[in-house]
């Protein structure tokens, strides 16, 4: 068995684990937020019961009570939810290092944005993640009333971070780091606020004292912050499949708008009010129009483009370095996504994708490592528009 094969399987399992843990984390988070907004006052008022709820699932009926326990009333066994969050974060961190920090900058940096070493880019990424947690935590710990101004400051801070990251790292590198920032804030909210506050409440009750339920309210606030970050994080995780987002000239605006879109959708899911969904749809409309390709690269011309004489050499000079059976690139030792342009049939069958990546999004060749020119992009574009015919 060769090392590369083992490496690929490890990567697959790690992604699967990250995905699974994330589903469990976000699933429980959505479930509890939903329950909180669905409780009714108890039909028969009982001591300590704030709300109750009946559910049916899989043929069984479930009765849930939302309770406050007084001194000495805490049950012996209580289920906590913490490993979903922790495993999501750990697997995510390993993936970040694996895919972005240990691949010689292939996805992390873009010399057209900034010339910077992969090591420095990684250190900048990690620093921004760490600083962001401390800034956010500091702001929401201040002994002042949390107001619209506090929220405005944190939004301003995140926007500045997005601007900085997109002007320092590659589009993808910047996007994934905002995801890492949100994910880290979410995890630390769990470990530094939510879990300790729950523990104080339990310990107080077990010690025969009246628990301070304000601690629970404080924990809930952090938990709500987490809830609003879930959809932006999910979007960021899939964004690397959509170059129209991360490789756009104004990718920082797109990232801010998409994060806002996710937060408003979440707000709608929680409140079921009209305003957030209207705002979210408005943002979506802006996003779709804003990312519409402005494509003036392909100059219309009646001259027939020859595949053999004009197009093939471009693929050979600009693409084969990565997209071949035995790539010569320093980072890619196998054709990315199995796409091998040494075979003409593959070029012909992928013209739609090639047109999108080379002419519209212009994010292939990756980081323009092989220095394709606009004229060459245009030649490929014209050849595709003329029907991608291969001449003898």
* Interacting residue ranges for ligand HEC, rule: CB under 6 A: 318-319, 321-323, 329, 332, 336-337, 339, 350, 353-354, 357-358, 364-366, 369-370, 372
- Pick 207 or 293: Cβ nearer ligand HEC: 293
Query: In the block, which residue shows the tokens 């053999």?
Result: 308
- Pick 246 or 261: Cβ nearer ligand HEC: 246
C-beta neighbour count of 229 within 10 angstroms? 22
Across 169-179, b (16+ Cβ under 10 Å) vs e yields: bbbbbbbbbbb
Nearest approach, Cβ of residue 327 and ligand HEC (Å): 7
- Pick 36 or 334: Cβ nearer ligand HEC: 334
Nearest approach, Cβ of residue 165 and ligand HEC (Å): 19
Q: How many CA atoms lie within 13 A of 153 on its CB side?
A: 12
Q: Residue 371 — left, alpha, or beta (φ > 0 → left; ψ -120 to 50 → alpha)? A: left
Nearest approach, Cβ of residue 113 and ligand HEC (Å): 16
Q: Under 8 Å CB-to-CB from 303, ≥6 apart: which residues?
A: none
Q: Give the angle 273-277-283 at the CA atoms, nearest 5°.
A: 150
- Pick 206 or 356: Cβ nearer ligand HEC: 356
Would you say 340 and 321 are in contact if contact means Cβ atoms under 8 Å apart? no
Nearest approach, Cβ of residue 175 and ligand HEC (Å): 13
Q: Under 8 Å CB-to-CB from 355, ≥6 apart: which residues?
A: 380, 381, 384
- Pick 84 or 376: Cβ nearer ligand HEC: 376
The dihedral sign for the CA sequence 332, 333, 335, 337: negative
Nearest approach, Cβ of residue 321 and ligand HEC (Å): 5
Would you say 62 and 54 are in contact if contact means Cβ atoms under 8 Å apart? yes
Would you say 30 and 228 are in contact if contact means Cβ atoms under 8 Å apart? no
Nearest approach, Cβ of residue 314 and ligand HEC (Å): 7
Would you say 277 and 268 are in contact if contact means Cβ atoms under 8 Å apart? yes
- Pick 271 or 333: Cβ nearer ligand HEC: 333
Nearest approach, Cβ of residue 313 and ligand HEC (Å): 11
- Pick 283 or 366: Cβ nearer ligand HEC: 366
- Pick 104 or 159: Cβ nearer ligand HEC: 104
Nearest approach, Cβ of residue 14 and ligand HEC (Å): 18
Measure Cα distances from 192 to 94, 175, 189, 198, 206 in Å. Answer: 21, 26, 5, 11, 22
- Pick 28 or 349: Cβ nearer ligand HEC: 349
- Pick 177 or 318: Cβ nearer ligand HEC: 318
Instruction: Quote the CA–CA distance of 184 and 85 in Å, as a whole number.
Output: 10
- Pick 140 or 341: Cβ nearer ligand HEC: 341
Q: Under 8 Å CB-to-CB from 291, ≥6 apart: which residues?
A: 244, 245, 248, 254
Nearest approach, Cβ of residue 280 and ligand HEC (Å): 28
Nearest approach, Cβ of residue 231 and ligand HEC (Å): 23
Nearest approach, Cβ of residue 133 and ligand HEC (Å): 29
Would you say 33 and 270 are in contact if contact means Cβ atoms under 8 Å apart? yes
C-beta neighbour count of 123 within 10 angstroms? 12
Structure tokens at 148: 């619209």
């Amino acid at each position: 068995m060769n090392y590369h094969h083992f490496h690929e399987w490890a990567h697959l399992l790690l992604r699967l684990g990250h995905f699974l843990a994330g589903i469990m984390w976000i699933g429980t988070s959505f479930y509890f937020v939903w329950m909180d907004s669905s409780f009714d006052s108890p039909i028969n008022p009982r001591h300590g019961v704030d709300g109750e709820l009946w559910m049916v699932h899989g043929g069984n009926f479930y009765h849930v009570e939302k309770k406050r326990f007084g001194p000495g009333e805490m049950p012996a066994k209580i289920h906590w939810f913490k490993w979903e969050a922790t495993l999501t974060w750990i697997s995510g961190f390993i993936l970040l290092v694996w895919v972005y920090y240990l691949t010689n900058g292939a996805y992390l940096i873009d010399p057209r944005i900034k010339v910077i070493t992969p090591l420095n880019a990684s250190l900048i990424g990690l620093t921004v993640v760490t600083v962001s947690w401390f800034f956010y935590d500091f702001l929401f710990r201040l002994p002042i009333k949390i107001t619209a101004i506090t929220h405005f400051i944190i939004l301003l801070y995140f926007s500045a971070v997005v601007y900085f990251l997109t002007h320092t790292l590659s589009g993808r590198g910047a996007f994934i780091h905002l995801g890492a920032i949100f994910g880290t804030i979410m995890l630390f909210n769990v470990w530094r606020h939510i879990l300790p506050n729950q523990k104080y409440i339990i310990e107080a009750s077990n010690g025969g004292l009246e628990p301070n339920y304000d601690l629970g309210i404080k924990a809930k606030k952090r938990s709500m912050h987490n809830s609003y970050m879930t959809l932006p994080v999910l979007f960021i995780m899939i964004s690397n499949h959509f170059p129209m987002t991360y490789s756009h000239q104004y990718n920082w605006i797109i990232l801010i708008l998409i994060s806002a879109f996710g937060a408003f959708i979440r707000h709608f899911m929680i409140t079921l009010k009209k305003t957030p969904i209207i705002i979210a749809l408005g943002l979506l409309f802006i996003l779709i129009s804003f990312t519409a390709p402005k494509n003036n690269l392909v100059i219309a011309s009646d001259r027939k483009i020859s595949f053999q004489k004009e197009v093939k050499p471009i693929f050979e000079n600009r693409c084969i370095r990565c997209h071949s059976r035995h790539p010569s690139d320093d980072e890619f030792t196998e054709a990315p996504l199995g796409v091998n342009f040494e075979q003409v049939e593959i070029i012909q069958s992928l013209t739609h994708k090639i047109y999108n990546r080379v002419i519209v999004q212009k994010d292939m060749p990756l980081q323009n490592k092989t220095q394709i020119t606009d004229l060459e992009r245009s030649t490929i574009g014209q050849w595709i528009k003329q029907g991608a015919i291969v001449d003898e």
